[in-house]
Chains A and B, each alone.
Chain A
Amino acid sequence: MNLSLFRPSRTTAPLAALLLLGAASSAPPAAAVPADEEVRIGAVLPVTGKESKIGGAFKQATEFAVKEINDAGGLLVGGKKLKVDLKLLDDTSDAAKSAQLVEQLIAQQRVHAVIGGYGSQLVQAQSVVPERYGIPYVAGGAGATSIYGRSKWVFGTLSPVENLATTQMEFLQDLVAAGKLKKGLRISLVTENTEHGKDFQKGVRDFAKAHPAEFTVVLDESFELYAPDFKPLLTRVQQAKADLFMCDAHLEDFISMQRAYTQMGLYHLMLTYGARGADEAGRKGLGAATDYIFASGWWSDLLPYPQVKAWTAKYKAATGTAPQWYHATAYETARALLAAVTKAGALKPDAIRGALASLDLEDSILPGGKLKFSRSGQALLPFVVTQNKPGGKIDLVWPKAAKTGDPVAPVPRS
């Protein structure tokens, strides 16, 4: 029997080990620590892959925030203006790569702080790294509460998803009080099987449990993130014959599910996809099928603050993009981190972390107008509710004090 094809030669064993050794020796023995003549900020975002639609927006807004600072001569740190060097990497929407790249930025590129990614599952993977190296980390794209409170180095500008759900329930409750919807509303609750989805589910469930006369959850199901086909799930939704359809989904899943929902001719008195619905990408992809969906984003250009109007105009003029909630939170995340560096007056990780923990960012464009982090590291800001109207119009419908139009309830049958 001729075994020569698979029998290794005598040189292969040492060659194999030498290759491993080569990998080790190809790295510099001790990476030179760059001088602190610039502020090195790392960012790992899903610029390509499944989360690229919003990841790309995060990239644009983060770069815009840094450019603004650099164009103004740099960031004030300890009485000196320093240029901000943004090292932005793409994790291709892959959680394992995401964590590895954060590690690369910290261990090899020696960044002073890191801006986290978008998507709770990617941020979950990244968020273990800052603790390991003792480097401040601020995520602008993860609202799942389980990410926060584990490490003193991890901060986030998105308020908890559970609060998002509660806000939506309060909005619905107000519609009942106003007589637009009748008591005893039956809810079909459908959530992605992520921490994000679980938080939304908890918010709805807890509220319904506390208000049994007004709400009952009659269907409570979860689905796989980026599921290929939603028709089986929506068939069960149809069979549940609920009054309200409440779903929590990522942008891609929202587009696929709402397309299937429309094709199947489903109808509910009110429907929401959590934070999705007002997104330009969704409206472009689905057109009139998104009309009357209500959504609770972490920001809206309809917020009645002068700084929001000014920033929206500035952003549109500079980038040609009408900002969505993710542009705003990405921008505010970068701004909060850079403000903390200035407040710290030094590039030492402990000082930046301390400044983040006690940050009170005035004139914030986020709801509430002030950005600060709670003890867990997660910002606790109010939510707004918007509703899509025909013709591409969006109205802010909650809170009442800030509304730009009346909510349409129940949704007219098409």
Chain B
Amino acid sequence: MSGRPPSEETTFVRPFIMTGGRAEPLQAGLRLETLVVAVGPPDESLAFERRHIVAVCERPMTVAEVAQRVGVPLGVAKVLISDLVVAGRLACRQPAELPLQMLERIRDHVRAL
């Protein structure tokens, strides 16, 4: 194993390395469209993807957009984002069922596109 030259693609990091082997987010209920936003700027205590995520979330960003911008699979993004929410580095807000007036407002906006 030790004598083997590095493979061509040394930048590829297995998804389970990024999440420390976990596949389930600490916090359930993160959806693709859940908005997350950084509580503060990224600092030295965060490394690699986590730091990147906090930087990307400088303004509110959906989970799907975070996955795309950071370039990680969705499942990985969910685990990392939930870690950061639990650690108080990201805030997220999940709307409950939308009131009828909101649905009507969305419809009116859509009709006016």
A-B complex is real: no
